Chain A
């Protein structure tokens, strides 16, 4: 149905488009500024007061050279990658299992179990008692402290349950007749059919882990060698320690590069996610939708 637009509608459409463009610019510009400044001449950057929209002076990658030789960043990067992979494995298995057991119609106490889990969303002991449990288990300053307390999230289990409930019963029945037990049914029959929801759980877990810092701060108080990337970023960006720059004493005017090194670190630590997320964006939409279905 083609309908002639009224004058008011045309004005609205134009403003709407302009508004969207402005919004996009606002979303991008801080990162763009950082990216451009990180490859600029450091003296010019410190002299500029406004936004930097293109590299100032000679293009230089010195800041990246400094940050990529900074031990903290390398340790943090490898630890974070380890935590992401390990957490995804643990959380993946437990979420599928959790979703599976509370969706079994033959399991009489599934609703009780669901309530048992959902209650913890409503009420919890809080920061200090949780910390003391982790401490009493002697997990402080171990890698496990980063993985076990965050192993299960009720939200993930609800996502998996919703997906598993959508799988037709007849598939399971035919597998049972062929002699499959619960593990076989779960991993070989149901999981392949719930790939999309499983992907959502994995994505949320991976991104959350990549960006996590608070648990590391309270559970890894002294083990610098186990800290994730974000903790080193915190040292560098918030506490402004000169570690990274001091390590790079082969550069004569290292101190000058302090700001640029921060910028380069921001880019290096954020780039993986910014590159990946547009490709997996459709899954987020799915994840948010499933998450909103009430449990």
Chain B
């Protein structure tokens, strides 16, 4: 009798509190209830396995002397040999320095700018003017990186607009700016700023509009001027957004927009322009040095993950805002 009741109960629903042992039953029961959902999940799960999880297995290549003939399983293991080769190789310091410098410069210049722009735009009361400024400032974002780099190449070529401008200021004759290593960093950072400023401000403008208007009225009553209102009401109001954006930004610090660098750089400015990701591309896909390239890629993504977790933790501690 008891046994029949148990079976009846079992057929009726999920078994709770039994952990993994109940999993097959629960999945089976869930499947019966949601057959079409499982059918829909199928292509999505397969896609994630093939294009996200299988490549994670490819990380094994970082620990072996990969040979295409022997495959991932059959290639000779070298342990941390590839990592050692990279850390002790001639390019390690240069790559680290360039990646960090470009990433940090881009952060310092490119992160606060959209916030300041949003704050200034917020002070503009003419609706039509505000809208026009927004539309125009978003425009550069929609220009493809190929066209943007084409513009940069053209403007920086000897005789180009920027090159002439620089020549006028420094009295040094119009040279090709992309051939001089000391100019690469400002060109890269400023062009990123040009492209991302307006679009980057969208999120701040949106969160500004959700700041409680009554607070401002109360502040005016108390005699606070514009600057005081900004410091005491506006900034605290959008602080959570700023912090989230900062976390996301810092986690991609070492990624740098490598597709732009690939389009812009040339061997004569590798000294300042070559970054970890462009090196991964050259070693892996141009020189077929898969093992070394995977090791460098893994190193880079481990640092990115660590940065994300650390910044997230710090911000959760200090300000109660965190990504997860």
* Complex: A259 Cα to B117 Cα, angstroms: 35
- B52 to nearest A CB, angstroms? 4
Residues of A within 8 A of B263 (CB): 234, 238
Could you tell me the distance between the alpha carbons of A30 and B174 in the complex, rounded to whole angstroms? 19
CB neighbours (8 Å) of B277 from chain A are 127
Question: Most chain-A CB neighbours within 10 Å: which of B34, B117, B262?
Answer: B34
Interface size class of A (residues with CB under 8 A): 35 or more
- A136-189 with Cβ < 8 A to chain B: 137, 148-149, 151-152, 181-183
Instruction: Decide yes or no: A149 and B154 within 8 Å by CB, A28-B136, A108-B14, A270-B143 being known contacts.
Output: no
A122-142 contact mask (Cβ, 8 Å, vs B): 1 or 0: 111111111111000100000
Within 8 Å by CB of A127, from B53, B220, B284, lies B284
- Tell me if B161 counts as interface (CB < 8 A to partner A): yes
> Is A4 close to B, CB under 8 A?
no
Inter-chain contact B44/A101, CB cutoff 8 Å: yes
Is there an interface contact between B124 and A17, defined as CB atoms closer than 8 Å? Answer: yes
- B135, closest chain A residue (CB): A278
CB of A79 closer than 8 Å to a CB of B: no
- In the complex, are the beta carbons of A128 and B145 less than 8 A apart? no
Given known contacts A128-B284, A129-B61, A132-B58, is B146 in contact with A51 (CB within 8 Å)?
no
Residue of A19, A113, A132, A181 touching B41 (CB-CB under 8 A)? A113
Residues of A within 8 A of B139 (CB): 27-28, 31, 274, 277
B-chain residues with CB within 8 Å of residue A277 when the two chains form the complex: 138-139, 142
Contact with A along B23-49 (1 / 0, CB 8 A): 000110010011011001101110110
Q: Is the CB of A16 within 8 A of B123?
A: yes
Our pick among B40, B54, B133, B301 for the contact of A123 (Cβ within 8 Å) is B301
Q: Does B198 contact A (CB under 8 A)?
A: yes
The main secondary structure of chain B at its interface with chain A is helix
Tell me, rounded to whole Å, the shortest Cβ–Cβ distance linking B162 to chain A.
10
**A11-B301 Cα distance, complex, nearest whole Å:** 48
Q: Are B47 and A288 closer than 8 Å at their CB atoms?
A: no
The one of B26, B120, B147, B324 that contacts A294, using a Cβ cutoff of 8 Å: B324
A24 CB contact (under 8 Å) in B43, B124, B133, B305: B133
On whether the beta carbons of A262 and B154 are closer than 8 Å, the reply is yes
Which residues of the partner chain B approach A30 to less than 8 Å between Cβ atoms?
151, 155
How many angstroms between the C-alpha atoms of A214 and B144 in the bound complex?
11
* Interface size counted on chain B using CB atoms at 8 A: 90
Is A205 interfacial (CB 8 A cutoff)?
no
Q: A125 is contacted by which of B58, B142, B174, B241 (Cβ under 8 Å)?
A: B58
- Check B202 against A284 for contact (C-beta < 8 Å): yes
**Residue B98 is within 8 A (CB to CB) of chain A in the complex:** no
Taking A94-B47, A107-B30 as contacts, is the C-beta distance between A207 and B142 under 8 angstroms? yes
Name which residue of chain A comes closest to B205, CB basis.
A285
Partner of A20, one of B51, B133, B194, B225: B133
**Contact partners of A238 in chain B: CB under 8 A:** 146, 149-150, 153, 263
Given A12-B226, A27-B194, A234-B263, A218-B30 contact (CB < 8 Å) = no
Of A20, A152, A233, which is within 8 A of B48 by CB?
A152
Assess the B159–A128 pair: CB atoms within 8 A. no
**Smallest beta-carbon distance B324→chain A, Å:** 7
Q: Determine how close the nearest CB of chain B comes to the CB of A114; give it in whole angstroms.
A: 11
Known A-B contacts A20-B121, A27-B139, A230-B146; A149 and B51 likewise in contact (beta carbons under 8 Å): yes
B55 at interface, CB cutoff 8 A: yes
User: Among A31, A130, A132, A182, which residue has its beta carbon within 8 angstroms of that of B37?
Assistant: A182
Measured between beta carbons, the chain A residues less than 8 angstroms from B132 are 24
Asked whether A129 lies within 8 Å of B220 as measured between CB atoms, the reply is no
Q: From A51, which residue of chain B is reached at the shortest CB distance?
A: B161
Please determine whether A104 and B34 come into contact, CB atoms closer than 8 angstroms.
yes
Check B237 for interface membership: any CB of A closer than 8 A: no
Are A133 and B40 in touch, CB under 8 angstroms?
A: no
Decide: A128 near B147, CB < 8 A? Known: A218-B285, A292-B203: no
Interface string of A88-104 (1 = CB under 8 A from B): 00000010011011001
User: Is A192 part of the contact surface with B, judged by Cβ < 8 Å?
Assistant: no
Q: Could you tell me if B194 and A26 are in contact, using CB atoms closer than 8 angstroms?
A: yes
Indicate with 1 or 0, residue by residue over A212-253, a CB within 8 angstroms of chain B CB atoms. Answer: 011000100000000000100110111000000000000000
Chain A residues, Cβ within 8 Å of B149? 237-238
B residues near A26, Cβ cutoff 8 Å: 194
**Is A101 in contact with B40, judged by CB distance below 8 angstroms?**
yes
* Given known A-B contacts A26-B194, A27-B137, A49-B159, A127 and B281 have beta carbons under 8 A apart: yes
Given the interface pairs A129-B57, A218-B285, the reply to whether A270 lies near B144 with Cβ below 8 Å is yes
Q: Determine how close the nearest CB of chain B comes to the CB of A210; give it in whole angstroms.
A: 7
Judge whether B140 and A27 touch: CB under 8 Å. yes
Give A133 to B55 CA distance when docked, in angstroms.
Answer: 7
CA distance A49 to B40 in the complex (A): 60
Is the CB–CB distance between A20 and B147 below 8 Å? no
- Given A266-B147, A270-B144, A285-B206, do A182 and B290 touch, yes or no (CB 8 Å)? no
Q: How far is the CA of A127 from the CA of B286 in the complex (A)?
A: 13
Residue B250 CB within 8 A of the other chain: no
Name the residue on B nearest A20 (C-beta). B133
A129 near B294 with CB under 8 A, answer yes
Q: How far is the CB of B54 from chain A (nearest CB, A)?
A: 5
* Residue on A nearest B159 in the bound complex, by CB: A49
- Of the residues A16, A34, A116, contact of B120 by C-beta under 8 Å: A16
Supposing A19-B120, A27-B136, A266-B150 touch, asked if A125 and B27 sit within 8 A by C-beta, the answer is no
Q: Answer whether residue B59 sits at the interface, using C-beta atoms and an 8 A cutoff.
A: yes
| Interface check B234, CB cutoff 8 A | no
Instruction: Give the 6 A-B CB pairs with smallest separation, nearest first.
Output: A129-B58, A125-B55, A237-B150, A126-B297, A211-B144, A129-B55
